[in-house]
Amino acid sequence: MVSERSLAVLRAIVQDYVASREPVGSKTIVERHSFGVSAATIRNDMALLEEEELIAAPHTSSGRIPTDKGYRVFVDQLTDVRPLTAAQRHAIETFLGESSDLDELLARTVRLIAQLTKQLAVVQYPTFSSARVRHVELVSLAPTRVLCILIADSGQVEQRLAELDHAVDEETLGELRARLNDLVTGSTMIEAVTLLSGEVEAADRRHAALLHTLAATLAEQARVQRTDRLVVAGAANLVRTEQDFAGSILGVIEAIEEQVVLLKLFGEMAADEHAVAVRIGRENAAFGLGETSIVSSAFEIPGRDISRLGVVGPTRMDYSTSMAAVRAVARYLSRTLGES
């Protein structure tokens, strides 16, 4: 059983090691923290922590560093996530508030999180596979060129140009528009992809080829909107922490580039009472990220699936700052996008 003082010593070791990257000894703890006990007493607490495998000696006659288990206890014992300062919150609102569309907003979001946390930042691009098709519009731009517009009940609009093999008049285009709306209006994006990718029968067999081209274009639009993908920034932050990894960080970078790995990991991360999820070290081993920690939080756009943003870095991470940053940015995104 670890005492309250021993847990306080563990917190001190984590904080000092994160700040200095140097193993922490009992003398250093006495000098830097107000425990009101002797170095010998602190050494007894450290011995208990070592028995519990919460700290370890990287080499003989050294101080101690936290283990993955120790970091986990530290994170779980955080009774409150330190909120960002008023200046930091203002910076979030100002920097992200200048975005002109969703793409720019997410690009700015990952850059901001990387700056706030000094870690590699990732944002899951929102999809709206759960949204339904409200309307399909076809606009003639030229005799053989049609703008396909897919409108979701969430208000999202996807546009794409279709090049036709031969000219189409307005009357024919109206018939095709009606056929496509009859086919997919009210369906989810996932259902729309299936319906539009199959054989779509035209009322007039002479229009079958035109209908097939337009349906294929719309299917691609629906498919893009339900594809999970990540926006990443701050790779240089990861490189700067290379000495925190036992081997090369190449494997970590390769795992991150395999976006499906992080997307699956994100999907398994359940938020705690702080609206933040944390996976530490060996908890990520199955994903090839056994030397990293991941901090994430969720945000939501009405009509779209819940998405996550977060940071990836070494286990020697400033967890409190990272948790506060990803939570604050996620809340900003949910609030702002919910109002749009």
Confidence of residue 131 (pLDDT cuts 50, 70, 90): confident
Specify the pairing of strand 55-56 against strand 277-280.
Answer: unpaired
Contact by Cβ (8 Å): 74, 269 = no
- Cα(108)–Cα(90) distance, integer angstroms: 15
The pLDDT of residue 317? 95
- Listed range (38-52, 81-95, 311-325) with the worst mean pLDDT: 81-95
| Mean pLDDT computed over every residue of the chain | 87
What band does 272 get if pLDDT is binned at 50, 70 and 90? confident
Residue with tokens 């007039």: 204
Give the angle 37-40-43 at the CA atoms, nearest 5°. Answer: 105
Domain residue ranges of the chain, discontinuous segments joined by +: 4-66, 86-126+228-339, 133-225
DSSP state, 132? Answer: B
CATH architecture, range 133-225 = 2-Layer Sandwich (3.30)
CATH architecture of 86-126+228-339: 2-Layer Sandwich (3.30)
Task: Work out the percent of the chain whose per-residue pLDDT is above 90.
Answer: 44
SS3 of residue 204 by DSSP = coil
CA distance 306 to 325: 19
Count H helices, E strands: the chain?
A: 13, 10
| C-alpha distances in Å from residue 133, one per residue of 139, 191, 231, 254 | 17, 10, 26, 37
pTM of the model: 0.75
Tell me yes or no: is domain 4-66 CATH 1.10.10.10.
Answer: yes
283 pLDDT higher than 80: yes
Contact 22, 42 (CB under 8 A): no
pLDDT-based confidence at residue 154 (cuts at 50, 70, 90): low
318 has a pLDDT exceeding 90 = yes
pLDDT at residue 303, rounded to an integer: 61
Cβ-in-10-Å burial (0-12, 13-18, 19+) of 303 comes to middle
Task: Please report the pLDDT score of residue 29 as a whole number.
Answer: 94
272 torsion bin: left (phi>0), alpha (psi -120 to 50), beta (else): beta
pLDDT in tens, 239-271: 999 999 987 788 888 888 888 888 888 888 877
Rounded mean pLDDT, 147-168? 83
Residue pair 49/55 in contact by the 8 Å Cβ criterion:
yes
Taking only the tens place, the pLDDT of each residue in 71-130 is: 999 999 886 777 788 888 888 999 998 888 888 999 999 999 999 999 999 998 877 666
pLDDT of residue 340 exceeding 60, the answer is no
Query: What span, in angstroms and rounded, lies between the C-alpha atoms of 72 and 67?
Result: 9
pLDDT in tens, 167-221: 889 998 898 899 899 988 998 877 888 888 877 776 677 777 878 888 888 888 7
Contact predicate 165/212, CB 8 Å: no
Higher pLDDT, 86 or 296: 296
Per DSSP, the three-state class of 35 is coil
Residue 79 CB contacts under 8 Å (≥ 6 apart), including other chains: none
> Is residue 256 within 8 Å of 233, Cβ to Cβ?
no
Q: State residue 292's pLDDT score.
A: 94
Whole-number pLDDT of residue 302: 67
* The predicted structure's pLDDT at residue 128: 64
Question: Given the structure tokens 């206890």, which residue do they identify?
Answer: 73
Contact 123, 137 (CB under 8 A): no
CA end-to-end span of the chain: 51
Q: Output the pLDDT for position 51.
A: 95
Rounded CA-CA distance 215/42 in Å is 71
Distance (Å, rounded) from C-alpha 105 to C-alpha 309? Answer: 13
What is the reported pLDDT for 295? 96
Instruction: State how far the Cα of 54 lies from the Cα of 184, in Å rounded to an integer.
Output: 56
* Secondary structure of residue 284 in the 3-state scheme: helix
CB 256, CB 262: distance < 8 Å = yes
Number of Cβ atoms within 10 Å of the Cβ of 135? 15
338 contact partners, CB below 8 Å, separation of at least 6: 300, 301, 302
Of residues 102 and 38, which shows the higher confidence score? Answer: 38
